[in-house]
Amino acid sequence: MPSVPTGLADPIGEDAIRTPPDWSAWRVVVSFGVVSLAADMVYEGARSITGPLLGALGASAMVVGLVAGAGEAMSLLLRLAFGPLADRTGRYWSLTLAGYTLTAICVPLLAVAPFLGGAGLALACGLILTERAGKAVRSPAKTALLAQAAGAVGRGRGFAVHKALDQVGAFAGPLLVAGLVAATGLIWPAMAALAVPGAMAVGLLLWTRLRVPDPAGYDTDPPAPATVAGPRPGPVGSWLGTDLPRRFFLFAAAAGAATAGLVTFGIISFHANRTGLIPLASIPLLYAAAMAAAAVAALASGYLYDRWGGRVLLAVPLLSAAVPALALSGTVGAVVAGTLLWGAAVGVQDSTVKALVADLVPAARRATAYGVFAAVQGVAALAGGGLVGALYTRSLPTLIAVLGATQLLAMSMFAATLTNRRTSSPHS
């Protein structure tokens, strides 16, 4: 990658002018984690009540479904654009700040929608979609920054601690919203209150950037260049990451298969409510328990990743394969156990998996890799969701068997990735 002109980009990567960091690497990791905690309070709090909010503004079930689906697709697929943009411009900090700022602004503005009459629904839909676009803007750049700092403490543990703090916000945000809705009987005061954690997230991020403008200084063991031999890719190939290592794409395909074969919480909660096994009011508590399991699993897998390397990720297909047989069963205990396993699988996928991505690709192409990786997972999640939805009403045994076969395929691809190449982590 050619160097980025001084003054035009944020300092990061091998070509940047590195300055001695003011903070320890752990302090940077924790700071990013607290930023994610506060931001998760904002958007997870809003997502917990988005359906009722849109319904109160006059939206039909179809509109609610379309907005939710489009938002999640944007948050994943747009990373395919913003990841390469971060690597090409070097503006990692600027994109990270822009993405978090969009979240901090859009969610509290939802409080205005009920006072705008017929225009309120259009405004709410636009704000929800813009917030999800903000997630796509910041994620590849932020993860690349985090990977640099985590390199000095062990990427497995670094990503794990970040994920655990992130999950605290995912747990606290919906509880805050539920408490305010219960106290006021209205939704808009809860949306307005989320401006506080949003401002905290942006403020802490600005402070972190001021104290540590160049996290690349922490990366004491950067991976060796591993681009595919041959001519440099053109503009389209560069955006799509065609110069990334082949084993990165094998790993992305493996993670995509694991994602496609993982039952979503939407189906689990639908099943639990439809069968009457778990009361409707208790389903959010079930989700909160799954988020707690995700945090614990992320911490455990991150620690083991730094000791054993990428082999710990072979547990992901095993965890995921057991989910449908338990979570879609006919007993309360099995549903709860399956949901906890679902949370554990999600926790590992959202933390330790990213550590291996950082070890598989050159430092200067990490944001591009995270963008491509997210796009693969987004397509896989869409395909898997459609498959599960189609099979659920037809035959649960067939659904369990198909998802088990998908996880077996994922495991074989994980094994191929890990067998043919040792990651660059000193502990692998």
List the chain pLDDT tens, one digit each, 428 residues. 333 433 334 544 444 444 556 788 899 999 999 999 999 999 888 887 777 788 888 887 667 767 876 777 788 889 988 998 998 899 999 999 999 999 999 999 999 999 998 899 999 999 999 999 999 999 999 999 998 888 888 888 888 899 889 989 988 888 888 888 888 888 899 999 999 999 999 999 999 999 988 887 776 554 444 444 445 555 566 666 778 888 899 999 999 999 888 887 777 877 887 788 887 667 767 877 888 888 899 889 888 888 888 888 888 899 899 999 999 888 999 999 999 999 899 888 888 888 888 888 888 888 899 889 988 888 888 788 778 877 887 888 998 999 999 999 999 998 888 876 544 443 44
Contact 40, 170 (CB under 8 A): yes
Between 3.10.129.10, 1.20.1250.20, 1.10.150.20, 1.10.510.10, what CATH number should domain 236-420 receive? 1.20.1250.20
Whether the domain at 25-218 and the domain at 236-420 fall into the same CATH topology: yes
| CB proximity list for 381: less than 8 A, separation 6 or greater | 72, 76, 259, 260, 264
- Give domain limits for the chain: 25-218, 236-420
- Angle between helix axes 265-274 and 332-349 (nearest 10 degrees) is 170
| CB proximity list for 1: less than 8 A, separation 6 or greater | 13, 15, 87, 364, 365
Superfamily of domain 25-218: MFS general substrate transporter like domains (1.20.1250.20)
